[in-house]
Amino acid sequence: MKVLITGAAGQLGRALIDTAPAGMTVQAVDRSDCDFSDGDAIRAMVQDAAPDLIINAAAYTAVDQAESDEQTARAINSDAVAALVGAHGGRLVHISTDFVFDGNSPRPYRPDDTRNPLSAYGRSKAAGEDHLRDSDLLVRTSWVYTAGRANFVRTMLRLMAEKDEVRVVADQIGAPTWAPGLAKAIWGLVAADAAGAFHHSDAGVASWYDFAVAIQEEARAMGLLDRSVPIIPIATADYPTPARRPAFSLLDCSVTRDLLGDGHTHWRTNLWHMLRAEKYRG
């Protein structure tokens, strides 16, 4: 099967390339290869590639910047999806986010729950979902990270090495997701011919504060940090940002896990794998 992967230089794009199953012929493209705000360029790229399957991991992810640049966010997160769908007769796998929900649910969000994004970024991602056909596959995820890329884990490692204390929001609840595990779940859903909406994150639940505490503990045990610093839990109101974030965005991944018979690995276990990879990178 010939697969076109967009967003190849991103965390998930790289993981999808690295975990591609045998028998997949992968062509990977990124913004250096195609302007994803240009519909004509997208259509030409798809025509040239002539893939059997497209996995769209390209996205505008600057959540706060999108508040003042919603037009660009919508062009990449929504209009580009419409262009991919219009140019490709086969199945499209599209990656979306927990930020399409408003955080008011009393339980983890199911794939068919009502969306109500709070931010420009969330609105642009929800609009992108609306372009998908019944035969396409939508995978929502949350708090993605991997070794060697810009993300919360590596930011925390830097701050813990530089600062005398770190202040982290404790009232936003969700689940971290290790990109290689997400990539394997996506390939599994592809192999199962899944269509419609699915959720995947690592098992368990955490606040950003919980995540930061675990990062320091695991990094200290692994020798990535020479010391421990106080981690101070704060409220969202104490760390104002341009974009509103959902206070509770835990995803119900039970349908995905039941279908694949996998995906039950706790987020802290995958954090350990990521930090080990980070250590080996030097």
What is the C-alpha separation between 34 and 23, in angstroms, rounded?
26
User: Which residue shows structure tokens 């980070």?
Assistant: 278
Tokens describing residue 219: 């990094």
User: How far is residue 158's CA from residue 8's CA, in Å, rounded to a whole number?
Assistant: 25
Kindly give the interhelix angle for 179-191 and 11-18, rounded to the nearest 10 degrees.
Answer: 60
- Token match 């010939």: residue? 2
Which sequence positions are flagged as catalytic? 121
Q: Which amino acid is at 114?
A: T
